[in-house]
Amino acid sequence: MRLPLALVPLLLLCSSAAHADYSGHPKAAPLLERLRETHGFSARDLDMVRGALAQAQRLPQLVEMEQKAPERTETWTRYSARIDESRITGGLALLRDYQPFLDRAEEEFGVPPAVIAAIMGIETRYGRITGNIRVLDALATQGFEHPTRSVFFSSELEQFFVFCRDFRKDPTSIRGSYAGAMGAAQFMPSNYLRLSLDYDGSGGRDLWTLPDAIGSIGLYFNRYRPSQAWRRGEPLVIPARLLAPLPPGTEVNGKATAYNAGALLRAGWLAVDVELPPDTPVGIIQLPLDDGRYEYWLALHNFYTVMTYNPRTFYAMAVTQLAQRIQQRLAAEAP
């Protein structure tokens, strides 16, 4: 019997998992001390952490998965296949089924419903696929063993234990992505603690529920990095045409605006069909296609706000274009 392709990575993870007992790892003692001093963990709380670390599974392949994420390895042609019909129709269904929550999020935070839907569509297919790797294993493996990002993952492991204490969760039972992100919104533990909302009035913040995920995404885009807060009513990108080869050293696919529109367009490298105020901050997006050509866009402030969610150009462009297609379909189907 042939296994469904979607099950293969999960089975490989399970087959290569190894019991680690990270409670004896050299980095465990400093972690416990931070939890005690910074977060006020009691002796009982610390016993819970030790017990969880003792049960952690070592999954070294997660490091390779993080280093070889599709945003790093695929062309835009291949990556953009994620903007498929099921994600468009799923986004339309989300807009209809959760309209009151999406309208409220737009009113409070300025983020259009289609953008919030697109985040959830790319991240978890609207809450259907939230990850099946134990967050404990993902964060312990990468926090203790990642060759370049152990500081980040160690910090998230610390925040994960705070989350489990504050939300009364069993750290050995929570599942998420290979990076340790959780729920329909795929928040890392630090963001869950700081930026999640009880949007449905249930009395708890549960990002596995879509209303809470919707509100929390809106809040995230306003509070995660205040200097990059969402700007109400502004677009994300503008299509551009290449008129001349970009000079060596031209910044493309950066993480923030690098030029102003007037100087960039006067240089004669690119052309756009939308008039921009000359002082508009922009960045240049260059997307590699399978045939060796490139697709060009000018990115505006809100595009880089999306990049705070995942600092990859392909990811932000996929969210942008999925949001556009959801909105276009909604307009086309309106009576």
So which residues are the catalytic ones? 123
- Closest alpha carbon to 254 in 202, 211, 204, 316: 316
* Span between the terminal Cα atoms of the chain, in Å: 48
| Whole-number Å distance between alpha carbons of 80 and 318 | 6
DSSP for 310-332, please give it.
S--HHHHHHHHHHHHHHHHHHHH
Report residue 324 as tokens. Answer: 């556009």
Which residue from 306, 325, 300 is spatially nearest to 239, judged by alpha carbons? 300
3-state helix, strand, coil in the chain (%, to 5): 55, 10, 35
**Residue type for position 46:** L
